[in-house]
Amino acid sequence: MTTGQRPATARHRPVGYTEQQMIDALLRCAADQDSLSRNDYIRRRHDDEPSAPLLERRFGSWNAALQQAGLGTTEQPLHFQGATTKWTEEMILDALRECWIKTGSLAVLTYEAWRTGSTDGICRSHVPPAATIRFRMGSWSRATRLAVG
């Protein structure tokens, strides 16, 4: 083992955060400020707190995360202004529910076959790809759990 490497037992494992834990991390990093830039969060966050990309995936955007925490939003950089997130969380959950109703399964392979029409010839362009669902919701299992409870 070289210097700086962690022993195999201390490697990072995925951590699940509740919405409240994520909000608490934002509020702690904001301290007494009305808002918090993404870069300030990255500099101030503790290693055991959620990453900025995870906050964005879970809430949909950095500003949506700030709003959930009751903080003021930040202005979007010029090169990103006008860009939007195509799939809302509700659209994602609706797509999963529709697949569940039609197929009786929420396995990733079943979802993708249903979405692309490889099982019935109907391409469903109104639903997001599985990779998008994983990215936006944090994991496939979290998304399916939220969709069908």
pLDDT of residue 7: 45
How far is Cα 82 from Cα 60, in angstroms, rounded to an integer? 15
Q: Is the pTM of this model over 0.75?
A: no
How far is Cα 113 from Cα 28, in angstroms, rounded to an integer? 43
Decide if pLDDT at 75 tops 80. Answer: no
pLDDT digits (tens, 9 = 90+) for 14-33: 568 999 999 999 999 999 89
For CA atoms 97, 91, 63, 131, the dihedral sign is: positive
The runs of H, that is alpha helices, within 80-139 are 89-103, 108-116, 130-137
Q: Percent of the chain beyond pLDDT 70?
A: 83
Q: Find out whether 67 and 73 touch, Cβ atoms under 8 Å.
A: yes
